[in-house]
Amino acid sequence: MSDVLTSSAVWRVEKSVGITGHTRHRHNPSPISVGFNAPGMCKTLTFGPTALAASIARTATLRDAPPEMLARWGYSALTEVEWLIEDGSTFMLTQHINSLADAERTAFAGRVGAGVTDLLMNALGYTWRDNAACLSSSLAPHADFIYGDGAVTDYGVVLAEARGSFAANVSAATISGQAKRKYSKQVKPHLAAESAHGKIIHGYSIAFGSRPGSAGAVLHAAETRISKPRGKRLPPTEPTPSLNPESTPTSLAFATHRANFSLMDAPSIVTWIDWVRAGGERPDAHSPVSFLEIPYAGRIFLACMESIWPIHDYPDWLDDIWHDPRWWPRFPRRRLRRRSSDGFAGWFVMEEKSAERFLNALSAIIRGGRENMPAAIELPRIEPAGFVVDRGEGGDALSESEYAYALYRDGLALLGSPPPRRIVGHRAWSPEDGMVGN
């Protein structure tokens, strides 16, 4: 059989991509919000295949499309990463990229560019996200994503444009030019504008590229320059009262978790989120949405069973076969996709406390009525796993682990290997009663 028809080995070694260029662009006034300081840009971004696939999926699902559709879109990222990126510590595309039509190669490059941007923004400390289409209903050019939290807490939100290129002319100069042009056209015009989630006070344009057939990648970050005051120092301004560190703009949290629960294949939860966000006809009362409690990497994660086992009461035999290796290959293919070697390609889950806090907040709004929706809700943040940044201080590296997974600040995770232990319990979410069980 021709090797064109066979998958290359799934890459396992983490890849480190250096920031080959970093430019800061002037803006007046600077800073847009007094007191804001952008996080320092990293020197190197290191990530594994699970993290890249997860971030491609995360960015692809920031839409208002049906959740069932978005779940399939998200899982397609796992297949793309498997077939089109070589193993090894240096980023390189497989030969299969040459078999794609030009339009599909361009689309894949764009998806990888969005995934790398999401990894970088999370590494910089930003947590909550939305598609920047919320900026305008017109076709005027705008950046791709809005992010909040981290350094921008209490000040507003930041804008991020993503660009990816897999072409024969990719070089440090071409990628730098793309990042700068995209910043000027799609980020700068929207700075200081109001969005649904707050004022845009800072912007990024991230461009990523690799030349097919050559090892290595180029990554350029363009962002808003924050000028230092000159001359006589101004008297200190009154500090803005700080919000609770777990306080999150409700609108941004709902945009984020709509995408998350779409990836988790939980359409009933997405339906309630849509009703809270946009109104319309109130959903009919549903049966509780069921979750499995999965121990993994020292945490408990919740896996939604709505599309797999829609009945709330589990039969006893489900616990008995959960860790039977003969059962895994029979798991619905829309949830798990077989890889060439290990038979397991990933499962989107959420850290238990993160899911519980959000779903209880959602239930409180459902009980009280969407007209009484609070401006902010309190949600936890999780230390990321599966990707790191080197800020030039040394010591940053992905630690060796038996677990292959990516975990994000909002609690979403993609498990890239089977849980080593059986499930430890069941949970359920009721629209009006919140989380129950344990």
Domain assignment of residue 51, yes or no: yes
**261 and 220 share one domain:** no
**309 and 179 share one domain:** no
**260 and 218 share one domain:** no
Check residue 438 and give its pLDDT.
Answer: 63
pLDDT 10s per residue in the chain (438 long)?
A: 333 334 445 567 789 999 999 999 999 998 999 999 999 999 999 998 889 999 999 999 988 888 888 888 877 888 888 889 998 889 999 999 999 999 999 999 999 999 999 999 999 999 999 999 877 655 567 889 999 999 999 999 999 999 999 999 999 999 999 999 999 999 999 999 999 999 999 999 999 999 999 999 999 999 999 987 665 454 444 445 455 778 899 999 999 999 999 999 999 999 999 999 988 888 886 678 999 899 999 999 999 988 665 444 555 545 554 545 444 444 443 444 434 344 445 789 999 999 999 999 999 999 998 889 999 999 999 999 999 877 665 545 555 567 889 999 999 999 988 777 677 888 999 999 999 876
**388 and 283 share one domain:** yes
Domain assignment of residue 242, yes or no: no
Check residue 10 and give its pLDDT.
Answer: 58
**18 and 140 share one domain:** yes
Check residue 66 and give its pLDDT.
Answer: 86
Domain assignment of residue 271, yes or no: yes
**167 and 256 share one domain:** no
Check residue 241 and give its pLDDT.
Answer: 46
**124 and 269 share one domain:** no
Domain assignment of residue 245, yes or no: no
CA–CA separation, 140 and 89 (whole Å):
39
CA–CA separation, 138 and 52 (whole Å):
31
Chain center to CA of 71: 14
Domain assignment of residue 393, yes or no: yes
Check residue 135 and give its pLDDT.
Answer: 79
Both tokens of 145, joined, read: 């994503």
Domain that holds residue 96: 3-224
Number of domains within the chain: 2
Q: Which of 224, 242, 264 is the last residue of a domain?
A: 224
Question: What are the backbone dihedrals phi and psi of residue 16, each rounded to the nearest 5 degrees, phi first?
Answer: -110, 125
Check residue 78 and give its pLDDT.
Answer: 80
Check residue 2 and give its pLDDT.
Answer: 35
**310 and 188 share one domain:** no
**301 and 167 share one domain:** no
**87 and 53 share one domain:** yes
**182 and 267 share one domain:** no
Domain assignment of residue 111, yes or no: yes
Contacts of 121 (CB under 8 A, 6+ apart): 129, 145, 147, 160, 204
**189 and 319 share one domain:** no
Domain assignment of residue 233, yes or no: no
Domain assignment of residue 380, yes or no: yes
